[in-house]
Amino acid sequence: MPRSEAENQRLREQQRANILDAAMRVFARSGPSASMAEIAEAAGVSQGLAYRYFASKHEIYYALIARAMRGGLSEPAIKEMTTDSPWLRLETLLSRILNARREHPEFFQLLYHVLSDAESPAELRAQMSERGTFLAYELRKLIVEGQVAGEIAEGDPDQLVVALLAYLDGLTRYSLYDPQRFKDHFPDVRIVMRLFKPEVGQEDSSDERKQEDDA
């Protein structure tokens, strides 16, 4: 019995998703220099079949980048975290960021290749820069609020943001360098939060400042 059009459409969508998933792994490993032959091999299909779904490897590459960009933290998602203390909100935000890197390292590997490729479209690089600026702004805002409350280490908040972003960038680099160790020993958010832990006596000093302000 011949398949229905609905069944054929389902199979086409399944095959397209299979090619995209395989291409994500290939591009994450090799960057934009990866070939359609490598993608087809990873997907278990012929090059001819791959070209039936995508006109070129560049079409696949930018479709994957668009998908990776949609997966980032949005402003509404961050604004939901408004009821807890600054420390807990920062911990929640970092948990989401770290979980994304642990569960989908290939997304961040791909974006890393985009930023490293001088031939990447300027518009795309600008979009990624805008996303990075937004994240840095939200992190800084939480850090400053936490410092005022005495919950987060004193110091230049911009330096703390840079240290954290460098840490996250390092995780992506390490996932490319040693993927098995990255998977087996991915750091818990509590390890990252030690960067922001106040020194002994900071909380007492913060309480004293609050009492002086109240007086």
For the chain, domain boundaries: 5-65, 71-214
The whole-angstrom separation of Cα 136 and Cα 130 is 10
| Domain spanning 5-65, CATH architecture | Orthogonal Bundle (1.10)
- Taking a C-beta distance cutoff of 8 angstroms, is the pair 78, 89 a contact? no
pLDDT of 42-58, one tens digit each? 999 999 999 999 999 98
The two three-digit tokens of residue 53, written as one number: 């779904």
The whole-angstrom separation of Cα 126 and Cα 168 is 20
Q: What is the DSSP string of 122-175?
A: HHHHHHHHHHHHHHHHHHHHHHHHHHHHT-S--S-HHHHHHHHHHHHHHHHHHH
Cα angle 193, 195, 198; round to 5: 90
CATH class of 71-214: mainly alpha
pLDDT of 18-35, one tens digit each? 999 999 999 988 888 889
pTM, entire model? 0.76
Please tell me the predicted confidence (pLDDT) of residue 127. Answer: 81
Please tell me the predicted confidence (pLDDT) of residue 83. Answer: 65
Weakly modelled stretches of the chain, pLDDT under 70:
1, 71-83, 201-215
Distances (CA, A) of 167 to 44, 97, 121, 139, 187: 36, 12, 26, 14, 11
Q: Is 57 exposed, middle or buried (0-12, 13-18, 19+ CB in 10 A)?
A: buried
Report CA dihedral (80, 85, 88, 90) to the nearest 10 degrees. 70
pLDDT of 62-83, one tens digit each? 888 877 777 666 556 666 666 6
Cβ neighbours of 111 (radius 10 Å)? 22
